């Protein structure tokens, strides 16, 4: 079974306080669910339609584990804290 990668790209940060509240809850929730942060921060370089906004990549053992992490009560609490504080794109992708 291949690993899974959770990729979050921020399109816009509307409220940095809400993003900080989200991060305080989301990091522990995702690591407790088996996620391992691979990369996070502003991109070094972007190409094509890339945006110079925060990007986060986590590794999970399986797609199912990543989906369960997203759907967990702890992560849902983090999402509630974020609210409308940012526009983001989250994708869970199976590794090759």
Which residue ranges form the domains of the chain, and what is each CATH number?
4-94 (3.30.70.100)
**Among 60, 43, 47, CA closest to 9:** 43
Give the pLDDT of residue 1: 75
Are the beta carbons of 11 and 53 closer than 8 angstroms?
yes
Averaged pLDDT for residues 73-93: 98
Residues 64-84 as b or e (16 or more Cβ within 10 Å = b) = ebbeebbeeeebeebeebbee
> pTM here?
0.92
Task: Assess contact for 89 and 47: CB atoms under 8 A.
Answer: no
Q: What digits encode the pLDDT tens for the residues 33-74?
A: 999 999 999 999 999 999 999 999 999 999 999 999 999 999
Name the helix (H) or strand (E) containing 95: none
Phi, psi of 2 (to 5 degrees): -85, 155
């Amino acid at each position: 079974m291949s690993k899974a990668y959770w990729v979050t790209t921020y399109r816009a940060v509307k409220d940095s306080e809400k993003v900080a509240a989200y991060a305080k809850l989301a990091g522990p929730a995702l690591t407790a669910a088996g996620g391992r942060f691979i990369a996070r921060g502003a991109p070094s370089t972007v190409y094509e339609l890339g945006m110079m906004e925060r990007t986060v990549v986590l590794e999970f053992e399986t797609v199912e584990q990543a989906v369960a992490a997203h759907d967990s009560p702890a992560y849902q609490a983090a999402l509630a804290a974020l609210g409308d504080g940012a526009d983001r794109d989250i994708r869970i992708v199976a590794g090759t």
